[in-house]
């Protein structure tokens, strides 16, 4: 049996009132781990308030609430945002 | 660049379909995974996205080398967050490659057994703390030069991955410049570290853009397909023009005695890197090639029982749930 | 021991635990079994480093001698560290790393829950913030321990070995001394021994689900949280972590 973790498509609702948006994919052994991995991979910069995961091969395509512990923590990682670093004007855009 | 020397595949498809495909690209349309595409386009993209992804992952190693020695808690957090981002970049790109029909495990194995390459830059060592600043400033800086235009690449999943990556890259370059600036403005020893880092990483950074255009025979097709957006020399010149004033601001000397502003061209004249060294590194003879691949292989081999164990549990759990229903 | 000394010792215990464990977990960056785990471990380490800045920052403030959190992290020698021995043992394989994480997270989450009610507002505020992060750490480490314990034969064996090795280090988290009594009296922190029952319930529920057997012996190594005696491993960790600060005193980074 092939032992590769299945691929999951990740949908995140960024703000209350918005719809879930596809943000990317990842691998996980099952749906629960996929949600956890999505939290770790795709919400490192406060991007989400709600996560949906769908196993990629369950998606049919035309041709071409755990939010406290889950999201608040990344708010304090200010250094992830480029504006945290003071770059002198003389140096140019960066 | 993270994808150097990508050989584009010859294409032997129906000329009518090819013309229609090219017309879509010329009109600025995005190609999506389920759309018809020439086999050469698909193969070239797998190679390019794969090499790019591998570079992100192997690129964790030289910087990861300093996480446990970072000099302050804040620097440690910043570096760890930065290297973690690179793992994320690799992940996004592997997912983009998967839409072309090559699975993560397959493409990973191609890296591990040497069938696929990664950027030459990551075969150089990080020897002092200023290297961490220099890598962010120069290596991420060079990568950004190529990644910003790639946001407009013709393949949808690749373009979307690049958009996500570019959002994170600006933090990388700025934290690097900030770190090396602290040192350039610091004690004489710190200054020495900063200069030493620039001395060692300058030419390898220039090599990132790949060989000179006159020796780079495969770009025309890739440029027509919009999976390569600029020529190697164009980007290299842009990088030099941008970086030299930044080095001057730090009071550091770029290790190129012939470097000078050319008023007529409106660009800096600079010395090309030693291309024989570049080809040596590509062939596997850089200072760290063997160690880098060994580290990736070890992580993969040591991790097998974990991947298998968690999957076995997921299957058992699903079976139990099924039986209970 | 004065109340101030006891308070400082308590803050160092909290901060040194997160400092040393965060350091250990950060060693995985670039080497984890799969990319998703690599990223998740880095998040855990980042949270722990952030918590270290808060705990050691407050410790420095309470000490009041003008030191910073960085001074405490990078310029103390092993005998001044107050972390439990559990967090300084080397990573070994991914199984031991995750088992260590789980055994620590379980204690950490209970401890922070109590500290949210601390009579010291600063302690309560740090605990409040950290507890959200740690709730997630625990969820993730518990799930992984269950998954690997109940996975393949090999993963089960490795997790049982990890548990056998680490179990004698768990008991130290519940040892009390007169400094703890002082903290209890001041309403700042709970008596460590009082967390044991809740811990045992939590840990045995997860380990049972993981099909693992908790060793019978209740023997517990000790010395870390009082500073009386660390493992040999701590010194090696410090030689790396503190090297730049030691080699170039006074430099700004
Ligand atoms: Fe990157
Ligand atoms: Fe980067």
ipTM of the complex: 0.97
Q: Structural domain boundaries of chain C? A: 3-247
Q: What is the pLDDT of residue A63?
A: 62
What single string gives the DSSP state of each residue in B12-35?
A: ---HHHHHHHHHHHHTTPPB-TTS
Q: Mean pLDDT in chain C?
A: 97
CA distance A89 to chain B (A): 10
| Both structure tokens of C74 | 């990078």
Q: Is A8 exposed, middle or buried (0-12, 13-18, 19+ CB in 10 A)?
A: buried
Cβ–Cβ of A36/C147 closer than 8 Å?
no
A61-88 exposure pattern, b = at least 16 Cβ within 10 A, e = fewer: eeeeeeeebbbebbebbebbebeebebe
In this structure, is the dihedral angle defined by the CA atoms of residues B81, B87, B93 and B95, taken in order, positive or negative? negative
Kindly list the residues from chain A whose CB atom is less than 8 angstroms away from the CB atom of residue C34: 5, 27
Ligand nearest to the CA of B87: 1
Residue B129 is encoded by which pair of tokens?
């703390």
Give the residue from chain A lying closest to C138, CA to CA.
A69
Contact across the interface for A27 and C43, Cβ inside 8 Å: no
User: Could you tell me the distance, in angstroms and rounded to a whole number, from the CA of residue A54 to the centre of ligand 2?
Assistant: 29
* pTM score: 0.93
Beta carbons within 10 angstroms of residue A28's beta carbon? 25
- Closest Cα in chain C to A35: C140
Q: From start to end of chain B, where are the E strands?
A: 260-262, 267-269
* Average pLDDT score over chain B: 94
> By C-alpha distance, which of B98, B66, B83, B40 is closest to B222?
B40
Contact by Cβ (8 Å): B68, C20 = no
B77 vs C18: CA distance, rounded Å: 13
pLDDT at position B150 over 70: yes
Answer yes or no: is pLDDT of B2 > 80: no
Buried b (16+ CB within 10 A) or exposed e, B44-55: bbbbbbbbbbbb
pLDDT band at A65 (very low <50, low <70, confident <90, very high): very low
Task: Dump pLDDT digits (tens) for B29-83.
Answer: 999 998 999 999 999 999 999 999 999 999 999 999 999 999 999 999 999 999 9
The phi, psi pair for A27, rounded to 5°, reads: -110, 145
Percent of chain C exceeding pLDDT 90 equals 99
Q: What is residue B157's predicted lDDT score, i.e. its pLDDT? A: 95
Sheet holding A50-55, edge to edge: A21-27, A7-13, A50-55
Q: Chains near A, with 3+ CB pairs < 8 A?
A: B, C
Nearest 10 degrees: Cα torsion B4, B10, B13, B17: 50
Instruction: State the pLDDT at residue A64.
Output: 53
Residue of C nearest to A80 (CA): C46
- What does the pLDDT read at residue C210? 98
Cα–Cα dist B207/B280, whole Å: 12
Q: What is the pLDDT of residue C60?
A: 97
CB C9 within 8 A of CB B278: no
Looking at the partner chain, which of A29, A82, A88 has a beta carbon nearest the beta carbon of B171? A82
Every domain of chain A and the residues it spans? 7-91
Q: Band the pLDDT of A67: cuts 50, 70, 90.
A: very low
For C39-92, how does the pLDDT look when each residue is reduced to its tens digit (9 = 90+)? 999 999 999 999 999 999 999 999 999 999 999 999 999 999 999 999 999 999
DSSP B135: I
Q: Which of residues 70-89 of A touch B (CB under 8 A)?
A: 77, 79-82, 84-88
Burial readout B165-189 (b: 16 or more C-beta within 10 A, e: otherwise): bbebbbbbbbbbbbbbbbbbebeee
Task: Flag if B61 and C243 touch (Cβ within 8 Å).
Answer: no
- Identify any residues that bridge with A52 across adjacent strands, giving them in sequence order: A11
Question: What's the CA gap between C81 and C20, in Å, rounded?
Answer: 10
Structure tokens that stand for B106 in this block: 């397959």
Report the top-level CATH class of C3-247: mainly alpha
Question: How far is Cα B284 from Cα B274, in angstroms, rounded to an integer?
Answer: 16
State residue B10's pLDDT score.
65
How far apart, in whole angstroms, are the C-alpha atoms of residue C48 and residue C55? Answer: 10
Q: Name the band, by pLDDT with cuts 50, 70 and 90, for residue A66.
A: very low
What does the pLDDT read at residue C1?
81
Own/partner contacts of B22-26, CB < 8 Å, gap of 24 or more, are B22/B224, B25/B154, B25/B224, B25/B225, B25/B226
* The domain defined by A7-91 carries CATH number 1.10.150.20: no
CB C19 within 8 A of CB C56: yes
Predicted confidence band of residue B252 (pLDDT cuts 50, 70, 90): very high
Task: Classify residue C91 as exposed, middle or buried by CB count within 10 Å of its CB (0-12, 13-18, 19+).
Answer: middle
Confidence of residue B3 (pLDDT cuts 50, 70, 90): confident
Residue A1 confidence (pLDDT) above 90: no
Query: In A, which residues are within 8 Å of B310 by CB distance?
Result: 5, 29, 33
d(CA C162, CA B66): 28
Please tell me the predicted confidence (pLDDT) of residue C207: 98
Nearest to B313 among C73, C147, C251 (CB): C147
Non-local (6+) Cβ contacts of B33 within 8 A are A64, B99, B100, B156, B157
List the Cα angle C35/C28/C130 in 5-degree steps: 95
Q: Which among C33, C241, C243 is the nearest to B306, CB-wise? A: C33
Residue B220 has pLDDT above 90, yes or no: no
- Between the CA of B96 and the centroid of ligand 1 the distance, in Å, is 15
DSSP 8-state assignment for residue B6: P
Q: Using one digit for the tens of pLDDT, what is the confidence trace for B280-300?
A: 999 999 999 999 999 999 999
Put simply, the answer to whether B313 touches C244 (Cβ < 8 Å) is no
């Amino acid at each position: 049996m092939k032992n590769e973790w299945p691929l999951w498509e990740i949908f995140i609702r960024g703000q209350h009132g918005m719809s879930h948006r596809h943000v990317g994919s990842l691998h996980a052994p099952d749906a629960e781990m996929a949600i956890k991995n999505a939290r770790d991979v795709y919400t490192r910069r406060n991007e989400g308030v709600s996560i949906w995961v769908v196993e990629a091969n369950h998606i049919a395509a035309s041709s071409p609430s755990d939010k406290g512990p889950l999201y608040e923590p990344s708010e304090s990682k200010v250094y992830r945002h480029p504006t945290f670093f003071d770059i002198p004007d003389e140096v140019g855009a960066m | 660049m993270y994808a150097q020397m990508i050989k584009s595949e010859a294409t032997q498809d129906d000329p009518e379909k090819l013309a229609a495909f090219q017309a879509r690209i010329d009109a600025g349309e995005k190609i999506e995974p389920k759309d018809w595409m020439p086999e050469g386009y698909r193969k070239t993209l797998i190679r390019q996205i794969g090499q790019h992804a591998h570079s992100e992952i192997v690129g964790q190693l030289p910087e990861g080398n300093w996480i446990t020695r970072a000099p302050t808690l804040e620097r440690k957090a910043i570096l760890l967050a930065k290297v973690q981002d690179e793992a994320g970049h690799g992940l996004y790109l592997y997912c983009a490659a998967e839409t072309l029909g090559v699975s993560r495990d397959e493409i990973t194995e191609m890296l591990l057994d040497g069938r696929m390459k990664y950027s030459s830059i990551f075969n150089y060592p990080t020897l002092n703390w200023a290297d961490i600043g220099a890598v962010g400033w120069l290596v991420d800086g060079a990568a950004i030069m190529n990644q910003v235009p790639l946001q407009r690449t013709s393949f949808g999943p690749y373009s979307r991955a690049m958009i996500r990556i570019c959002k994170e890259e600006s933090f990388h370059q700025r934290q690097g410049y900030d770190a090396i600036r602290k040192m350039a403005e610091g004690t004489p020893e710190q200054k020495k570290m900063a200069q030493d880092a620039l001395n060692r990483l300058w030419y390898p950074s220039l090599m990132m853009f790949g060989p000179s255009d006159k020796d780079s025979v495969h770009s025309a097709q890739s440029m027509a397909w919009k999976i390569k957006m600029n020529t190697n020399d164009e980007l290299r010149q842009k990088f030099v023009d941008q970086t030299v004033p930044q080095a001057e601001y730090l009071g550091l000397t770029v290790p190129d005695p012939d470097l000078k502003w050319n008023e007529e061209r409106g660009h800096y004249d600079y010395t090309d890197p030693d291309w024989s060294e570049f080809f040596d590194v590509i062939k596997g003879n850089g200072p760290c090639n063997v160690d880098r691949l060994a580290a990736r292989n070890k992580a993969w081999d040591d991790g097998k029982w974990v991947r298998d164990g968690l999957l076995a549990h997921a299957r058992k759990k699903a079976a139990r749930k099924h039986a209970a229903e | 021991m004065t109340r101030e000394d006891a308070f400082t010792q308590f803050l160092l215990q909290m901060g040194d635990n997160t400092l040393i464990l965060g350091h250990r977990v950060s060693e995985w960056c670039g080497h984890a079994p799969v990319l998703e785990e690599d990223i998740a471990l880095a998040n855990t380490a980042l949270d722990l480093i952030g918590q270290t800045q808060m705990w050691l920052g407050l410790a420095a403030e309470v000490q009041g001698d003008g030191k910073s959190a960085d001074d405490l992290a990078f310029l103390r020698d092993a005998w001044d560290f107050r972390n439990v021995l559990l967090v300084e043992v080397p990573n070994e394989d991914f199984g031991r790393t995750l088992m260590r994480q789980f055994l620590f997270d379980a204690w950490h989450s209970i401890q922070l829950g109590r500290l949210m009610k601390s009579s010291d507002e600063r302690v309560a505020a740090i605990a409040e913030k950290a507890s959200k992060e740690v709730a997630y750490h625990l969820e993730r480490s518990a799930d992984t321990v269950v998954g690997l314990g109940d996975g393949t034969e090999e993963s089960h064996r490795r997790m049982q070995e990890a548990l056998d090795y680490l179990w004698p280090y768990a008991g130290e988290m519940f040892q009390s001394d007169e400094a703890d009594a002082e903290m209890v009296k001041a309403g700042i922190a709970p008596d460590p021994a009082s967390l044991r029952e809740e811990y045992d319930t939590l840990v045995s529920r997860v380990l049972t689900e993981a099909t693992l057997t908790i060793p019978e012996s209740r023997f517990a190594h000790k010395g870390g949280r009082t500073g009386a005696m660390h493992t040999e491993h701590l010194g090696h960790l410090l030689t790396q972590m503190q090297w730049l600060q030691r080699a170039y005193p006074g430099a700004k980074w």
